Each structure stands twice: as structure tokens, then as C-alpha cells.
Amino acid sequence: MKKMLTSLAAAAFGILLLSATVSALPVETKAECKNNNCRNFRMGMYQIKNTVTMKVLIEKALGERMALRLLNDKGQILHEEHIGKATRKFGRKLNFSEIQDGNYTLEISDNQERIVKYIRLATKDVSEVNRTLVAMN
């Protein structure tokens, strides 16, 4: 009985020690690139004229996997897309016509680096005034 309690206590201590070590592992953070250029990829982004659509273009090295994520201001992922190793050039249109006004983040990343773009979507209420011109003599 004493032997069983000793081994049970040793097992509990081992599990406690293991869980404390696992939770203390550091979280890797990705380096943020500047000027839309990273070591393995680069990107460009522009708004299509007179629309609420953004065009995202990515050029990357072969053999690298990448991810494109659109997040809201709470950090929730609204859209996520993975780019395979065999793809060298990638383009995507992001249509914001059905998304509510607010702040959004576009993150493009590989295993080591990332590019973050901040998007502010605001709709201006525009109303057209109907006027009639009447000419009188």
C-alpha cells in the first residue's frame, strides 16, 4: 500500500512538472517586414477605382508556403487563404461591399516574416438632390 502511494505521488509530481514546463515554452513571433518587402516575398495592394474592392498581389520564392488573413478589429479571422509551395505569383480581389464599416487588418505571412496592412472601411452617406430647372419667359 505504501509503495502504491509513493508511485502515485511520484506520477502526480511528474505530470505537474511536465505541464509546468510545457506552458513555459516561448511563443515564436514573426518579424514584421517594412516597405512591403520580406526576404522570401513581397506584396502590393491597391483599391480598384470607384469600388470598395482591394487587389492584393504577392510574389514569393518557390518552395515557401504562405497565408493571407483578413481579421476584424477583435482579431477574429474573416477570411484565410493558403498559398502553396509551387505558386510563385498570386493575386486576389477582396470585395468589402458586404462588410460593415470598421477597422480591418490584412496579414500576409510565411514561416518567419509577415506584412501587416491596416484597412479602415467607412461609408459616406451620399444623397442626390433631384432638382428641376424650369425656364420662364
In a domain, 10, yes or no: no
**pTM, whole model, 2 decimals?**
0.67
In a domain, 20, yes or no: no
Collapse the DSSP code of 83 into the 3-class scheme (helix H, G, I; strand E, B; otherwise coil) and give the result: strand
pLDDT tens profile 62-120: 998 999 999 999 999 999 999 999 999 999 999 888 888 888 999 999 888 999 989 88
Q: Which domain holds residue 55?
A: 31-121
| CATH code of 47's domain | 2.60.40.1930
Number of domains observed in the structure of the chain: 1
pLDDT tens profile 57-77: 999 989 989 999 999 999 999
